[in-house]
């Protein structure tokens, strides 16, 4: 079979298998046939059958793990049996799709719990029985591993700029701006670099507010930048705690568990 014929048959197959998915005024349609309904309240999407009986919900989660690494997924829950909540990967019809479109598209194309006959309860229950695992790439898995190690250190920054680990003083910040607040993000550009020292006043590193660059005494550097999350562009303004966490990654000898 020639390449031209293969491409032709592939195109024909895609054409006949393509589904026209539309959501208008809360009604989900497949190829012009109403199959389900959807509503949104406080970021939670509830799917109903055509008799307006609620069947299941989806809630989108988008959170930072370490630095620019973010995790985006949905929490899937049945209305009639809330014993389990599943964290599920979602798919979108395009890079610019909103949450509602992604929720509908995932339900139809990925999870197969909505078809031309409506909401498929059997398929929905099978998902909760099989407990599918999320498909995480290496970068995301590594980020969760790093996050677990950092969380074990119990890092805090108190209201005078001291760095604590599990309640013990392990270091401090120097050249704090006037706007300093231990829970605040650092948005102010300062003439002096914000410096970090250990408990023995040994220089560990500094954060340059004008370039958003973190440099450590062991010669490593890291720049905070604008990045894309699952659905929005986020400008990375660090907290003082996040600066300490990044320094621990760059210099593991700074704070040891």
Same domain for 83 and 166? no
Asked whether residue 121 is domain-assigned, the answer is yes
Q: Which residue has the tokens 């998902």?
A: 127
Round to whole Å and give the CA distance between 15 and 91: 20
Same domain for 117 and 155? no
Task: Look at residues 130, 161, 192 and tell me which one is the last residue of a structural domain.
Answer: 130
Residue 28 and residue 36 in contact, taking contact as beta carbons nearer than 8 Å: yes
Provide the terminal-to-terminal Cα distance of the chain, rounded to the nearest Å. 63
Domain that holds residue 233: 151-250
Same domain for 120 and 173? no
State pLDDT tens for residues 136-155: 999 999 999 999 999 999 99
pLDDT band at 175 (very low <50, low <70, confident <90, very high): very high
Number of domains in the chain: 2
Same domain for 104 and 201? no
Least confident of 69-78, 88-97, 166-175, 228-237: 228-237
CB atoms inside a 10 Å sphere around CB 243:
22
What residues pair up with 66 in beta bridges, in sequence order? 69
Q: Provide the b/e sequence for 179-210 (b: ≥16 CB within 10 Å).
A: ebebeeebeeebeebbebbbeeeeebbbbbbe
Same domain for 121 and 156? no
State pLDDT tens for residues 13-65: 333 345 799 999 999 999 999 999 999 998 899 999 999 999 999 999 998 88
């Amino acid at each position: 079979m020639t390449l031209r014929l293969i491409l032709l048959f592939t195109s024909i197959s895609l054409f006949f298998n393509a589904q026209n998915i539309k959501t208008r005024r809360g009604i989900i349609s497949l190829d012009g046939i109403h199959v389900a309904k959807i509503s949104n309240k406080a970021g939670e999407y509830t799917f109903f059958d055509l008799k307006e009986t609620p069947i299941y919900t989806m809630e989108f989660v988008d959170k930072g793990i370490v630095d620019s690494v973010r995790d985006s997924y949905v929490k899937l829950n049945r209305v009639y049996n809330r014993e389990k909540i599943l964290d599920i990967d979602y798919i979108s019809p395009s890079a610019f799709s909103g949450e509602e479109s992604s929720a509908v598209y995932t339900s139809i194309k990925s999870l197969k719990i909505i078809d031309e006959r409506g909401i498929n309860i059997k398929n929905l229950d099978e998902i909760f029985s099989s407990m599918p695992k999320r498909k995480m790439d290496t970068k995301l898995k590594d980020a969760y591993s790093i996050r677990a190690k950092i969380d074990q250190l119990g890092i805090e920054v108190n209201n005078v700029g001291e760095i604590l680990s599990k309640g013990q003083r392990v270091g401090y910040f120097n050249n704090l701006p006037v706007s300093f607040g231990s829970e605040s993000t650092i948005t102010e550009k300062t003439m002096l670099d914000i410096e970090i020292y250990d408990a023995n006043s040994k220089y560990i590193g500094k954060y340059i507010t004008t370039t958003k660059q973190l440099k450590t005494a062991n010669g490593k550097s890291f720049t905070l930048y604008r990045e894309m999350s699952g659905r929005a562009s986020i400008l990375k303004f660090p907290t003082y705690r996040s600066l300490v966490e990044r320094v621990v990654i760059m210099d593991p000898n700074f704070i040891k568990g």
